[in-house]
């Protein structure tokens, strides 16, 4: 097996995107917010839509970014289909397009759902907590569905398709013994991206940190990148 290779991307290496609209779930803090700050700074024509339950973290974002008319922050519960659908529509109506979507919102393993028994008020075994699946799998797939739908709404007859990036994890490739539900959700969230012949998929390593959002080169992870070709069928046919 080849030894792991590291790489670094400097700010000067980034020449785009330009004149694009990017929607990011989980965009109020951490990786999502730092991605938004970067895209906003790359070009004065770029616009970003942030979806999160909370407003952007003021300690992580400068005030000029928060006040920018190129930034739209929407409070949204991505586990609620109508809430997420309305947020996509609001962003689309505001900026006229959605070119890129970062499926970034996610949570870590929540308690021990298999070997620890909790009981309800009747003393019977309580139903397992499925929030990890709800956020990391079901809601992520809803974001993917909405992304494809809105990318097919072209600004003009010659409009381009779009790009989808899913924030994944090594747990999506190598199961983590301490996080079975998280591992299952991360495995499952990649399948829709990999299962469509009409989608071009590139798996590539990147570096990010959950603990220190300003440094994106601390902990290895993976991103799934998909380019939506406008001339090819996305669903059906």
Domains identified in the chain and CATH numbers: 17-228 (3.40.50.720)
Q: Greater confidence, 190 or 1?
A: 190
The pLDDT of residue 39: 94
Q: What is the mean pLDDT of residues 172-187?
A: 75
Residue 65 has pLDDT above 50, yes or no: yes
Residues 95-128: b if buried by 16+ CB within 10 A, e if exposed: bebbbbbbbbbbeebeeebeeeeeeeeeeeeeee
Under a CB-based contact definition with an 8 Å cutoff, are residues 172 and 183 in contact?
yes
Please, which residues bridge with residue 162 across strands? Answer: 228
The residue annotated as part of the active site, out of 47, 133, 186, 222, is: 186
Please, which residues bridge with residue 203 across strands? Answer: 224
Share of the chain above pLDDT 90, in %: 38
Q: What is the mean pLDDT of residues 110-119?
A: 80
Count of alpha carbons within 13 angstroms of residue 50, beta-carbon side: 30
For residue 100, the SS3 value is strand
Residue 27 has pLDDT above 90, yes or no: yes
Please, which residues bridge with residue 21 across strands? Answer: 47
Q: What is the mean pLDDT of residues 27-39?
A: 92
Q: Greater confidence, 148 or 197?
A: 148
Residue 49 has pLDDT above 80, yes or no: yes
The residue annotated as part of the active site, out of 133, 150, 182, 222, is: 182
pLDDT band at 113 (very low <50, low <70, confident <90, very high): confident
For residue 200, the SS3 value is strand
Verify whether residue 182 is a known catalytic residue.
Answer: yes
Q: What is the 3-state secondary structure (H, E, C) of 38-85?
A: HHHHHCCCCEEEEEECCCCCCCCCCHHHHCCCCEEEEECCCCCHHHHH
Q: What is the mean pLDDT of residues 107-111?
A: 78
Lowest mean pLDDT among 25-34, 37-46, 53-62, 200-209: 200-209
**Which pTM was predicted?**
0.77
Residue 236 has pLDDT above 60, yes or no: no
The pLDDT of residue 82: 97
């Amino acid at each position: 097996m080849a030894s792991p290779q590291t790489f670094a991307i400097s700010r000067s290496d980034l020449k785009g995107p330009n004149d694009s609209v990017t929607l990011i779930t989980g965009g109020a803090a951490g990786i999502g917010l730092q991605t938004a700050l970067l895209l906003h700074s790359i070009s004065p024509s770029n616009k970003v839509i942030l979806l999160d339950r909370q407003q952007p973290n003021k300690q992580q974002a400068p005030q000029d970014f928060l006040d920018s008319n190129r930034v739209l922050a929407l409070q949204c519960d991505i586990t609620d289909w109508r809430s997420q659908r309305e947020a996509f529509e609001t962003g689309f109506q505001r900026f006229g397009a959605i070119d890129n979507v970062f499926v970034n919102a996610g949570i870590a393993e929540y308690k021990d759902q298999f070997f620890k028994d909790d009981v309800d008020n009747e003393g019977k075994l309580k139903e397992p907590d499925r929030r990890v699946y709800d956020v990391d799998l079901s809601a992520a797939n809803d974001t993917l569905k909405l992304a494809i739908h809105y990318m097919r709404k072209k600004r003009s007859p010659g409009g381009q398709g779009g790009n989808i990036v899913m924030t994944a994890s090594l747990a999506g490739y190598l199961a983590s013994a301490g996080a079975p539900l998280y591992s299952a959700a991360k495995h499952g969230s990649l399948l829709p991206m990999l299962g469509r012949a009409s989608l071009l998929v590139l798996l590539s390593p990147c570096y990010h940190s959950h603990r220190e959002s300003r440094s994106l080169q601390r902990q290895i992870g993976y991103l799934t990148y998909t380019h939506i070709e406008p001339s090819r069928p996305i669903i059906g046919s």
